[in-house]
Amino acid sequence: MTGETPELAVEAIDEATLRERFEAQHYVADDRVVTTVQLALQLGRPLLVEGEPGSGKTELGKVLADGFETELIRLQCYEGLTAENALYEWNYTKQLLAVQSNEGTVTADSADAGGTRSVFDDEYLLERPLLRALTAGGDRSPILLIDEIDRADEAFEAFLLELLSEYQVSIPELGTIRAENPPIVILTSNRTRGLSDALKRRCLYLHVEPPSFETEYEIVSRKVPELDAAIAAEVCAVVERLREESFLKRPGVAETLDWARAVATLRANGSDEPLSTDEIERTIGCLLKEVEDVTRVDTALLEQLHAAAAAADDRLESAET
Amino acid sequence: MTPREHASENATESDRPRGDRGGLDQPTGLHTVPDFEAARTHVLTELVRFTDELRQAGVDVPATGTLEGARALAVVGFADREPAGDALRAALLSEAADREAFDEAFPPFWHRLRTGIDRIATHEGTSTSDDDEPEPAGSVALEGEASELLSETEPPSLEGDDGDGSERAEVRLQTGRRHATGERPIDEDEDGDAVRRYSAVGGRERVAATPASLTDAERDAIDRFVNALATVPGRRTQQATAGERIDARRALRSSLGTGGTPMDLPTRDPVPSELHCCLLIDVSGSVLDTVDRDTLLAVAERLQTVARRSSVFLFDTDLVDATEQFERAGGDPAAALRAAEISWGGGTQIGDAFETLRRQHRDAVDRRTVVIVISDGLDVGEQSVLEEQITWLARRAAAVLWLNPLAVASTYEPRTRGMETCLPYVDGLFGFAEPTDLAEIARQLERRGLDGPIGYEYDPRRQQPAEPTPKSGEGHE
């Protein structure tokens, strides 16, 4: 806040600057995202981002890293992820060789005896993403993106608690390592399981909503500039209509962008004819990823999609005026 | 209070017409300086009240929520409604499902907060309050009444911005959180609004349409059951005597005794943590009379979600694959159950049903699949068919568990023909009437494993009431 030194760019960032950085990275963020991210930066709290797959959760971390020109350290969570994979591991081979060649010993207290050093030393430590986020040099805080935390075990979540609230980790043989520049932590979750209260309490919470038609249009026109503006609007209108159906997997923004690129590629000659039902049908695989969903798209629905596309231009104009 | 907060208050103070007040009522002297202390107290009080309301509405606000909320507010200030709302949302919520409750409780809170601050800023008690809309309500009414007043006057203006508000409100009902918002059913100002609010509150169909409501304890019981049954190795590992992977960490430690030469290599093996299961549900009248349908569906749905792979079959005289209904987001398991109930009915033929499974859905059961049968074992089919099929099932599957609704009775003994036939081939016969019964099964499985002595007869709940109060014959047909 106002007490901070201005050099610590990340902590002292204000809303306008943040918006600008997002803008520069072509990340279309609504007010809620901007305010929440600003809060997370200023309060130095981890940010827990939830939302449908493909709604830009991971992208948020990447954009922040690019926007602040700092390092992005990403930890992809999966079931069975252990502290050794995420935090640190001893270089056992090196340790073993050191012990064999009498250069090192394992007892910490006899460190100076006979010129041998303990093999539990920085030299033998392999840094994994979490430890690297704490020890990363430079004057800027790195961005630590802990992706899909819900896929990791609950035990791993508990293991994160010390890191998230104190920005430090304890290594039994080495002691506590504390971050000089605490990383900016972004956690994402797809809600495949509930997260523990202890973890949630430590984080600020952001739920990324599916974008409105106008927002999505902006995203598409920024990310897929090669696509004609009118077609981009049609693309968004079709996706918006598709989301109303109760599909197994509703298309997210990522799918919209895929589809927009697909449509742009197929129209390599730059034609700006409106989307046809045939075109929608042939490229529907970009949007729907379940066979049950694809078979649900029948002629009637295609007609409706086509109608939605046709009405898109008017909507865009009315939105702009 | 942070400087930021002062700043924002000054801002709100300065954009208000000044001429309407004199410096007579407050000791601060300078007529443009608001009473910071009072404003601070007011904000904190309102914030505490707001978090309290949220909690009452069933929102899971963390214990430190108020603190976080205050910090967050201090960062964004409260000059504008949207940033303040977003900040509080980020600080207080941790579940997507709680957003609606927040959206409902926030406007009254914001109104109270703003009116209070404005009142303090313009020094309460002045009679010239004609400059702003919310001002009269705040300055004329007493504190308690003010909040009620605004909870009634406020909503029409804000519900304008999201037209679907009423539709969303319907879903929230079950938690009964409307009590917490301070809304009163008597809505005098506008009839239309009153009607809409009422319908939002009274949407009954929605509630009926979502039967799969399990309590946390029940969900935990099912999850525990699934974990206890897990037969397929996951990614986690544990120490093993002759495992596949070398445990380098322990190898180093143990090599120290031999001067750095690893003499023996400790190993690790993956822990079975995933479940492949095949759920066979008897939908005959006798079962559905004992077990609540919604419970049955909810359990099946949860199993389907938690297990890595699972298939669900409904059977009576015949067998039908209902996996898809449970799997699909838009599927309707209840309808499948109803359809099965209507089309069959009368006389369970477990043997024939199993034969259908064997002929048409062979892949549903393999050597890693645990077959879970929910049936009372009242079989009217051919005994030889049943014996043949259950033998096949037991041989092919990793395990067969039989959950019998009748076996929850303390005097139950498996004396029915069907049950007697199947019992030798079944790994465990348990009582099952509600999801929490699964916790008991899980307990036995955790302690003794699938091969150990498990079954209804080891249920501690059974032993105790059996001796002193011998209730007669629920368990017998």
Q: What does the pLDDT read at residue A111? A: 47
Q: Determine whether the interchain pair B82/A205 forms a contact, defined as Cβ–Cβ distance below 8 Å.
A: no
Band of residue A116 on the pLDDT scale cut at 50, 70, 90: low
Q: What are the tokens at A61?
A: 């971390």
Check residues A88 and B259 and name the one with the higher pLDDT.
Answer: A88
Residue A282: C-alpha distances to residues A217, A228, A254, A260, A295 (Å): 22, 19, 19, 13, 13
| Residue ranges per structural domain of chain B | 3-209, 237-271, 275-466
Asked if A178 reaches chain B (Cβ–Cβ under 8 Å), the answer is no
Q: What are the tokens at A300?
A: 């009637």
In tens, the pLDDT along A9-35 reads 566 677 888 888 888 888 888 888 888
Taking 80 as the threshold, does the pLDDT of residue B119 lie above it? yes
Q: What does the pLDDT read at residue B331? A: 65
Strand partners, A145: A74, A186
Q: Determine whether the interchain pair A35/B86 forms a contact, defined as Cβ–Cβ distance below 8 Å.
A: yes
Nearest-Å Rg of the Cα atoms of chain A is: 25
Question: Residues with Cβ < 8 Å from B325, sequence gap 6 or more?
Answer: B312, B331, B332, B333, B335, B336
Q: Are A142 and A70 in contact (CB under 8 A)?
A: yes
B169: enclosing H helix or E strand: helix B165-172
In tens, the pLDDT along A79-90 reads 778 878 888 888
The answer to which of A253-257, B51-55, B145-149 has the lowest mean pLDDT is B145-149
Kindly state the greatest CA–CA separation across chain B.
Answer: 100
Asked if A290 reaches chain B (Cβ–Cβ under 8 Å), the answer is no
Question: Residues with Cβ < 8 Å from B173, sequence gap 6 or more?
Answer: B201, B203, B206, B207
Task: Give B82-110 as a DSSP string.
Answer: HHHHHHHHHHH---GGGHHHHHHHHHHHH
Strand partners, A189: A50
Q: Determine whether the interchain pair B256/A246 forms a contact, defined as Cβ–Cβ distance below 8 Å.
A: no
Q: Which residues in chain B have Cβ-Cβ distances shorter than 8 Å to A92?
A: 248-249, 251-252
| Whole-angstrom distance, CA of residue B65 vs CA of residue B46 | 13
Q: What does the pLDDT read at residue B221? A: 87
Q: Which residues in chain A have Cβ-Cβ distances shorter than 8 Å to B89?
A: 32, 36, 205
Band of residue B33 on the pLDDT scale cut at 50, 70, 90: low
Asked if A26 reaches chain B (Cβ–Cβ under 8 Å), the answer is no
Q: Determine whether the interchain pair A207/B96 forms a contact, defined as Cβ–Cβ distance below 8 Å.
A: yes
Task: Give A70-105 as a DSSP string.
Answer: --EEEEE--TT--HHHHTEEE-HHHHHHHHHTTSEE
The 8-class DSSP code of residue B25 comes to S
Taking 90 as the threshold, does the pLDDT of residue A145 lie above it? yes
Q: What does the pLDDT read at residue A144? A: 92
In tens, the pLDDT along B299-351 reads 888 888 888 888 999 888 888 888 887 776 556 777 777 777 766 656 788 88
Q: What are the tokens at A166?
A: 């104190």
| Whole-angstrom distance, CA of residue B252 vs CA of residue A107 | 13
| Pairing outcome for strands B276-282 and B369-374 | parallel
Which residue do the tokens 């430890």 mark?
A: A131
The answer to which of A39-48, A60-69, A286-295, B31-40 has the lowest mean pLDDT is B31-40
Q: Which residues in chain A have Cβ-Cβ distances shorter than 8 Å to B3?
A: 1-3
Taking 60 as the threshold, does the pLDDT of residue A192 lie above it? yes
Overall average pLDDT of the A104-110 stretch: 60
Q: Determine whether the interchain pair A79/B235 forms a contact, defined as Cβ–Cβ distance below 8 Å.
A: yes
Q: What does the pLDDT read at residue A107? A: 63
Q: What does the pLDDT read at residue B40? A: 86
Overall average pLDDT of the B258-267 stretch: 80
Check residues B201 and A273 and name the one with the higher pLDDT.
Answer: A273
Asked if A50 reaches chain B (Cβ–Cβ under 8 Å), the answer is yes
Q: What does the pLDDT read at residue A186? A: 93
Please tell me whether residue B428 adopts helix, strand or coil conformation: strand
Q: Are B430 and B455 in contact (CB under 8 A)?
A: yes
Angle of CA points A71, A76, A81, to nearest 5°? 130
Q: What is the ipTM, given to two decimal places?
A: 0.78
- Looking at chain B, the whole-number percentage of residues with pLDDT higher than 70 is 69
**Residues shown for chain A:** 321
Q: Determine whether the interchain pair A246/B249 forms a contact, defined as Cβ–Cβ distance below 8 Å.
A: no
Q: How buried is A65 (Cβ within 10 angstroms: 0-12 exposed, 13-18 middle, 19+ buried)?
A: buried
| Whole-angstrom distance, CA of residue B262 vs CA of residue B59 | 55
Overall average pLDDT of the A301-321 stretch: 79
Q: Determine whether the interchain pair A80/B237 forms a contact, defined as Cβ–Cβ distance below 8 Å.
A: yes
Check residues A70 and A7 and name the one with the higher pLDDT.
Answer: A70
| Pairing outcome for strands B245-246 and B267-274 | antiparallel
Q: What are the tokens at B376?
A: 């009372």
Amino acid at B323: T
Inter-chain CB pairs, A–B, below 8 Å: 110
The answer to which of A37-41, B152-156, B433-437 has the lowest mean pLDDT is B152-156
Overall average pLDDT of the B362-385 stretch: 88
In tens, the pLDDT along B178-204 reads 343 444 444 344 443 333 333 333 333
Band of residue B371 on the pLDDT scale cut at 50, 70, 90: very high
Residue B347: C-alpha distances to residues A246, A281, B176, B214 (Å): 37, 48, 43, 31
Q: What does the pLDDT read at residue B206? A: 31
Taking 50 as the threshold, does the pLDDT of residue B161 lie above it? no
Nearest CA in chain B to A245: B330
Q: Which of A186-200, B155-169, B182-196 has the highest mean pLDDT?
A: A186-200
φ/ψ of residue A200, rounded to 5: -65, -35
Q: What does the pLDDT read at residue B457? A: 83
Please tell me whether residue A169 adopts helix, strand or coil conformation: strand
Q: Determine whether the interchain pair A2/B3 forms a contact, defined as Cβ–Cβ distance below 8 Å.
A: yes
Check residues B242 and B477 and name the one with the higher pLDDT.
Answer: B242
Nearest CA distance, B92 vs chain A (angstrom): 8
Describe the strand order of the beta sheet including B232-240 as a list of residue ranges: B232-240, B267-274, B245-246
B359-373 core/surface letters (b: 16 or more CB in 10 A; e: else) = eebeebbeebbbbbb
Quick one: CA dihedral A231, A234, A239, A245, positive or negative? negative
Which residue do the tokens 């696509």 mark?
A: A227
Between A100, A206, A207, which is nearest B261 by CB?
A: A100
Smallest CA-to-CA distance from A53 within A172, A147, A122, A158 is with A147
Q: Are B188 and B155 in contact (CB under 8 A)?
A: no
Band of residue B216 on the pLDDT scale cut at 50, 70, 90: confident
Band of residue B123 on the pLDDT scale cut at 50, 70, 90: low
The answer to which of A23-37, B81-95, B224-238 has the lowest mean pLDDT is B224-238
Smallest CA-to-CA distance from A252 within A50, A56, A60 is with A56
Q: What does the pLDDT read at residue B392? A: 92
Taking 70 as the threshold, does the pLDDT of residue B210 lie above it? no
| Whole-angstrom distance, CA of residue B288 vs CA of residue B293 | 6
Q: Are A41 and A238 in contact (CB under 8 A)?
A: no
Between A2, A31, A246, which is nearest B86 by CB?
A: A31
Residue B144: C-alpha distances to residues B137, B140, B150, B194 (Å): 11, 12, 10, 22
Nearest CA distance, B314 vs chain A (angstrom): 22
| Whole-angstrom distance, CA of residue B329 vs CA of residue B333 | 11
Taking 60 as the threshold, does the pLDDT of residue A151 lie above it? yes
Q: What are the tokens at A159?
A: 């293991």
Question: Residues with Cβ < 8 Å from B418, sequence gap 6 or more?
Answer: B348, B350, B375, B377, B378, B379, B381, B383, B386
Domains in chain A with CATH codes:
15-78+138-208 (3.40.50.300), 89-118 (no CATH), 213-315 (no CATH)
Nearest CA in chain A to B68: A204
**Residues shown for chain B:** 477
Check residues A284 and B202 and name the one with the higher pLDDT.
Answer: A284
- Strand locations in B36-92 (E): none
Q: Where are the alpha helices (DSSP H) in chain A?
A: 15-24, 31-43, 57-67, 83-86, 92-100, 129-135, 154-166, 197-202, 213-223, 229-244, 253-266, 277-282, 291-296, 299-310, 312-320
Overall average pLDDT of the B417-436 stretch: 89
Nearest CA distance, B179 vs chain A (angstrom): 25
Average pLDDT, chain B: 72
| Whole-angstrom distance, CA of residue A75 vs CA of residue A46 | 14
Is it true that domain B275-466 has CATH number 3.40.1190.20? no
Half-sphere exposure in the Cβ direction for A165 (13 Å, CA): 10
User: Within 10 A of A206 (CB to CB), how many other CB atoms are there?
Assistant: 26
